[in-house]
């Protein structure tokens, strides 16, 4: 039980930190890093959906870890796209497709028959 509370707290903190970063004014961002506000906003929304699913019990701990790992892969792809100082249309399209897949994965995991409160999970 204590382990689940820690997981929920960690996910909540991660979601809040992602939201606060997405809402930071553009003036504080370094001018050398290309901006991807839509990607960042969607990332924050997906983190919040994962945290809400973990808190409500609609996501198991295993599903939560897998979805968080998927978000981490998207973050790495975004960092790689920004590395050269320009995010091209092709890179934005790739990030969008990755986020679309992650969104579908979150929906499926939250609405399947598994839940954190089910016996044997």
Residue 120 lies in a domain: no
pLDDT, tens digit, 9 for 90 and up, residues 2-43: 566 666 656 666 655 555 555 555 555 555 778 889 999 999
Residue 8 lies in a domain: yes
Residue 116 lies in a domain: no
pLDDT, tens digit, 9 for 90 and up, residues 40-64: 999 999 999 999 999 999 999 999 9
Task: Report DSSP letters for 22-43, one per residue.
Answer: HTS-GGGS-TTSPP-HHHHHHH
The domain in which residue 41 lies consists of 2-26+36-110
Number of compact structural domains in the chain: 1
Q: How confident is the model at residue 116 (pLDDT cuts 50, 70, 90)?
A: confident
**For residues 10 and 51, what is the distance between their CA atoms, to the nearest angstrom?**
9
Residue 99 lies in a domain: yes
Q: State the pLDDT at residue 115.
A: 79
Residue 115 lies in a domain: no
**For residues 27 and 112, what is the distance between their CA atoms, to the nearest angstrom?**
42
Residues 74/56, Cβ–Cβ less than 8 Å = no
Residues 90/111, Cβ–Cβ less than 8 Å = no
Residue 121 lies in a domain: no
Residue 117 lies in a domain: no
Predicted confidence (pLDDT) at residue 75 exceeds the cutoff of 50: yes
Residue 53 lies in a domain: yes
Mean pLDDT value across residues 67-93: 96
């Amino acid at each position: 039980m204590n382990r689940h509370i820690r997981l929920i707290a960690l996910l909540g903190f991660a979601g809040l930190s992602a939201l606060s970063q997405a809402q930071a004014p553009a003036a504080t961002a370094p001018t050398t890093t290309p901006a991807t506000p839509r990607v960042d906003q969607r990332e924050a929304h997906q983190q919040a959906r994962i945290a809400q699913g973990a808190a409500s019990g609609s996501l198991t701990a295993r599903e939560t870890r897998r979805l968080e790992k998927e978000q981490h892969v998207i973050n790495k792809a975004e960092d790689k796209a920004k590395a050269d100082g320009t995010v091209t249309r092709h890179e934005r399209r790739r990030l969008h497709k990755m986020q679309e897949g992650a969104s579908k994965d979150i929906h499926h995991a939250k609405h399947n028959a598994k839940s954190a409160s089910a016996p044997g999970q």
